[in-house]
Amino acid sequence: MKWLARIQLEDVALALLLLVGPLLSGRGSAGADPTGLGIGFLRRETDPLLGLFALVAAIGAIAALATRVPGESRVVDEGGRAWIIGPLVGAIGLTTGNALELIGLEGGDIFTGPAMVMAVLSFVFAARLPVVQRPVRRLLVAPFLLLSGAVFQGLVAEFTSSFDGSVDLPALLAGANAIPLIATVAAIVLAVSWIFYAMLIFAPRELADPGAPTRSWTVRYLVFLVSLVVALLLGGTTPVLVA
């Protein structure tokens, strides 16, 4: 059971966010986003409460960019984690860029620019950044992480709904090429899901609490993926089944 030690509170919170939504909402329409958060962001629907939460999430993520953990001389050390900055800025733009529109104000992608500027400054003034303890940094990033998880779910729900009832799964499984087809689809799904997971989940968590081993991230990714699949099924999204 050593793998349990690799799971953090963030993993539990993300799983609950994905799973509790469909159980409480009782939605049964295909493609429904059980939490309602992701779809709201994707469609830029006005929602003041959600917009306020997005503001808090963006501020926390940018604050994490402007600080460093104890023992680091820069926001990302020499271990090759500099690549997380690009995905993180992209995630901030995707999940919180339209926060003002959700509140009902004009503002465009207000946080994308500041996030990019802060990312550059974090390299230029790396050694002078304030030092913040890991638990505090995790708290700073927590709202952004939950919001990113909801948006991730919304993206998947929107995509899978376009295939609802259009594929005959039993017929595919009975075909001669069933095993290669399933293996190919599974590989594509894992690859695409990891790309979005790296941007929306991995990057902010690695920024807040860097240094987790690959095995830990493998376990965390699988927990998130299983929770996402179960949540979509509970929410009525079964894209490969013919109605």
pLDDT tens for each residue of 157-175 = 777 666 555 555 556 556 6
- For 184, counting Cβ atoms within 10 Å of its Cβ (0-12 exposed, 13-18 middle, 19+ buried), the class is exposed
* All structural domains of the chain with their residue ranges: 2-234
For the chain, give me the number of helices (H) and strands (E)?
Answer: 11, 0
> Which value, in Å, is the radius of gyration of the alpha carbons in the chain?
19
Number of C-beta neighbours around residue 113 at 10 A? 13
Contact 37, 151 (CB under 8 A): yes
Q: Is 131 helix (H, G, I), strand (E, B) or coil?
A: strand
Which is more confidently placed, 54 or 242? 54
pLDDT of residue 52 exceeding 80: yes
Q: What is the pLDDT of residue 40?
A: 46
pLDDT, tens digit, 9 for 90 and up, residues 29-49: 434 444 444 444 555 567 778
Q: Read off the DSSP letter of residue 68.
A: B
pLDDT given for residue 104 in this prediction:
73
Residue with tokens 């002078």: 128
Q: How confident is the model at residue 205 (pLDDT cuts 50, 70, 90)?
A: very high
Which of 48-52, 132-136, 183-187 is least confident?
Answer: 183-187
Query: What is the Cα–Cα distance from 188 to 210, expressed in whole angstroms?
Result: 28
For residue 9, pLDDT beyond 90: yes
For the stretch 104-161, pLDDT in tens is 776 656 667 777 787 777 777 777 788 889 999 999 999 999 988 888 887 777 776 6
Instruction: Calculate mean pLDDT across residues 76-98.
Output: 70
